[in-house]
Amino acid sequence: MQSHTIKTALYSLLGLLLVSTAEASWTVEDRVNDELPGRIIDIRYDGQRVAGFIYGEGQAKTYLSVYDSKGQRLSNPGLNAEGQTHGSFPHHRGLFIGWNIIQSDLGSDDLWHMRGNARMVLAAISNMEATEHGVTLELDVHWFSSRHNNELQGLLIAERRSIRVSKTEDGRTQIDQESVMQAKRDLRLRGDLQHAGIHFRAAAEVETVRKQTRYLWSPKTLEPGRGRIVSDTLEWVNFRFPLHGTWHSVTQLNPPQNRSTELSWRDYGRFGFFFQDELAANESRTVRTRLLFDEMTTYGDDDDIRQRADMDYERMR
């Protein structure tokens, strides 16, 4: 009788982990990555992969990989299946966060390029849930210095990363990410807009069509200079690019609570918002972003895209 009870409990737990009931269109599963080194928290909608959280052995940083409606990757993995670097700037991977200068009592560390032994490690999966409305992840990510001491073993930041993947009423993929970063020692987050902040990198193949890509931003009146805008009123950035035989539109929204002061982009598909900060030991900062992914049969109209992005921003606030 006890054996039967244990088996029943195990089967119930397995069902919760896979979250793939007939009633839900969304599923989530933590498994060995079938494309890259390490593991993937595989997020699917009606059986098709929509996103995947990448981590584990062979991965120096954690990030979210994004896919189109046919399950083809939209974002840069930085590595191939053998773990060798792939494409230009392979440290740019999917939706990621980092700073190339994090100063502490251990010195200065680069958790953007992940130089030396600096790394981000998934310490725990606190929650992994799929419902009929989307998938929610609660992840504990530890940021380590390339240097170590006996007190905290090089731990710089203990981050609680919350990710929600869903669909909008008009069928776009929506990704909401919140990072609550607790400093484990006094920290200065520094760097520059090209090498720090919350960024997205499109697939490496986009570099071959970089002359066809296009950016829009808000407020519209802000004047860019060589792929950057400096302002304390930044609201959103939109990137359009051709890939896998269709046009794609990605809009990143910038909540005012982030206090971002600079927007950075490159025509090969890396863009995001940057801010600097200082945190005392045990102090926390919360950083949020929302990305919306759309597929289009044509290049699209600037005014239409701008109008929808303005509406998306107002709904987020």
Classify the phi-psi angles of 244: left when phi > 0, otherwise alpha if psi is within -120 to 50, otherwise beta.
left
172 located within any domain: yes
168 located within any domain: yes
State the Cα–Cα distance between residues 45 and 24, nearest whole angstrom: 9
**β partners of residue 143:** 120, 157
pLDDT on residue 151: 58
Helix (H, G, I), strand (E, B) or coil at 273: strand
Helix or strand run (H / E) with residue 304: helix 302-316
Helix (H, G, I), strand (E, B) or coil at 315: helix
- The pTM for the full model equals 0.90
**β partners of residue 161:** 139, 179
pLDDT on residue 37: 96
How many independent structural domains does the chain possess?
1
8 located within any domain: no
13 located within any domain: no
2 located within any domain: no
Q: Write the single-letter amino acid at 42.
A: D
Tell me the pLDDT tens digit for each residue of 160-169: 999 999 999 9
148 falls in which pLDDT band (50, 70, 90)? confident
Structural domain range at position 231: 23-316
74 falls in which pLDDT band (50, 70, 90)? very high
* CATH code: domain of residue 269: 2.70.98
Helix (H, G, I), strand (E, B) or coil at 199: strand
In the DSSP assignment, the letter for residue 120 is E
281 located within any domain: yes
Q: β-pairing, 155-167 with 119-131?
A: unpaired
Mean pLDDT of the chain: 91
7 located within any domain: no
1 located within any domain: no
Listed residue (80, 42, 75, 41) closest to 58, CA to CA: 80
pLDDT at position 21 over 50: no
Classify the phi-psi angles of 58: left when phi > 0, otherwise alpha if psi is within -120 to 50, otherwise beta.
left
Tell me the pLDDT tens digit for each residue of 195-210: 999 999 999 999 999 9
